[in-house]
């Protein structure tokens, strides 16, 4: 992980802390943060003063801001530890060999990667009115809760409150106009208090459509695996792959599932799938040999990462009740 990669990782931690309400106040996420090697006698591989810069806007002591960011950063698969020193400096230690372990874990667990026990022992029931968005939301929440170990049952434990779709946009009309998958995406992608965007942009077959990008990224991952099979290139993570954004998105997926289930917010999962898809689409062109290039350990390792990305995209779409087609 280069300093530029780590800087982007710290910025991502800031955004998540703001989104989850851990940093309050009118916190403006900076365009960049500085990370540098610690001075002689310092700790960790890199240090940053990001917490000191954010403390005033957050209305919190810099030490507390640093603790909040540290809690976010240690979840990254390439970071082994974060220590707060001085008035609020973050000292970051990187992991050696973590990438291979992450990719192997995803490939071994398959569609159950990210499943956990954060809601183990809880009994969840979701009561909702006879309205299309509330019905779709309740179904997604049941899936997310089950993935986190909850016992999902019928009953009237928790009401689902969402901003309804516009008058006249009932289930039959939405299915006729957009189909089941695009309808579910639109209804779940918007936060519960926001009005979902239901227009012809949902059906755009291009980069302007997040729904298209996510499913297209999955189909591209599957296409790479089919092409690799024809070229007799096996899937095998053998060396480090320079794809920090994609690795970060894959490694962060379990945390996102915990957050989406615990906060009853499937939109968090949908947004993370967009992040994963965008990172993968920027990476996909490096996976297979080109021209007279001979297959190497680098190609086999990139292919393993591509399969891991496709696994996350398919698993996340499934939890939203949306199909992940082989071809788009």
| Residue 323 or residue 254, greater confidence | 323
pLDDT at 158: 64
> What span, in angstroms and rounded, lies between the C-alpha atoms of 45 and 103?
23
- For 149-171, write each residue's pLDDT tens digit: 999 987 656 678 888 898 778 89
Q: Which pLDDT score is estimated for 257?
A: 94
What is the pLDDT, as a whole number, of residue 271? Answer: 96
pLDDT number for residue 2: 65
Give pLDDT, residue 289: 93
| 199-204 CB contacts, 8 Å cutoff, 24+ apart | 202/178, 203/178
C-alpha separations of 34 from 115, 117, 298 in Å? 34, 36, 30
pLDDT in tens, 257-268: 999 999 999 999
Alpha helix (H) ranges present in the chain?
3-19, 50-58, 62-73, 98-109, 132-147, 171-178, 180-189, 210-230, 244-262, 266-283, 297-319
Residue 180's nearest CA partner among 203, 196, 161 is 203
Does residue 145 carry a pLDDT above 60? Answer: yes
- Candidate from 15-19, 60-64, 180-184, 203-207 with smallest mean pLDDT: 15-19
3-class DSSP state for residue 152?
strand
**What's the pTM value of the predicted model, to 2 decimals?**
0.78
Measured in degrees and rounded to the nearest 5, phi and psi for residue 124 equal: -115, 130
Distance, C-alpha 256 to centroid of its chain: 6
- Mean pLDDT for the chain? 90
Q: Which among 126, 134, 123, 146 has a CA at the least distance from the CA of 318? A: 146
Report pLDDT digits (tens) over 20-69. 888 877 787 888 888 888 877 778 888 999 999 898 888 899 999 999 99
The mean pLDDT of 233-240, rounded to a whole number, is: 91
81 phi and psi, to 5 degrees? -170, 155
**Is residue 34 exposed (0-12), middle (13-18) or buried (19+ Cβ within 10 Å)?**
middle
Strand partners, 127: 159
Write 99-105 long-range contacts (CB < 8 A, 24+).
99/237, 99/240, 99/241, 99/247, 100/237, 100/238, 100/240, 101/77, 102/77, 102/247, 102/250, 102/251, 102/308, 103/237, 103/250, 103/304, 103/305, 103/308, 104/237
């Amino acid at each position: 992980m280069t300093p530029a990669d780590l800087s982007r990782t710290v910025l991502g931690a800031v955004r998540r802390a703001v989104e989850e309400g851990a940093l309050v106040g009118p916190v403006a996420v900076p365009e960049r943060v500085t990370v540098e090697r610690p001075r002689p006698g310092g700790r960790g591989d890199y240090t940053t003063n990001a917490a000191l810069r954010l403390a005033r806007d957050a209305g919190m002591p810099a030490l507390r801001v640093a603790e909040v960011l540290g809690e976010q950063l240690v979840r990254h698969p390439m970071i082994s530890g974060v220590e707060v020193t001085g008035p609020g400096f973050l000292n970051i230690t990187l992991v050696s060999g973590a990438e291979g372990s992450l990719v192997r874990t995803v490939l071994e667990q398959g569609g159950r990667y990210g499943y956990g026990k954060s809601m183990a022992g809880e009994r969840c029931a979701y009561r909702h009115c006879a309205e299309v968005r509330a019905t779709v939301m309740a179904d997604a929440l049941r899936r997310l809760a089950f993935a986190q170990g909850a016992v999902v049952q019928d009953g009237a434990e928790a009401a689902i409150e969402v901003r309804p779709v516009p008058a006249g946009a009932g289930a039959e009309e939405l299915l006729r106009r957009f189909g089941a998958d695009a309808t579910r995406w639109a209804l779940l992608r918007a936060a519960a208090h926001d009005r979902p965007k239901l227009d012809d942009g949902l059906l755009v077959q291009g980069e302007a459509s997040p729904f298209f990008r996510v499913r297209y990224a999955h189909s591209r991952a599957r296409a790479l695996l089919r092409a690799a099979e024809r070229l007799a290139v096996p899937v095998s993570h053998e060396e480090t792959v320079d794809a920090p954004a994609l690795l970060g998105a894959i490694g962060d997926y379990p945390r996102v599932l915990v957050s989406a289930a615990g906060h009853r917010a499937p939109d968090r999962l949908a947004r993370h799938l967009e992040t994963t898809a965008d990172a993968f689409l920027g990476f996909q062109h490096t996976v297979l040999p080109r021209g007279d290039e001979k297959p190497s350990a680098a190609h086999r390792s990139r292919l393993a990462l591509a399969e891991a990305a496709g696994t996350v995209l398919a698993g996340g779409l499934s939890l939203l009740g949306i199909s992940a087609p082989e071809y788009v």
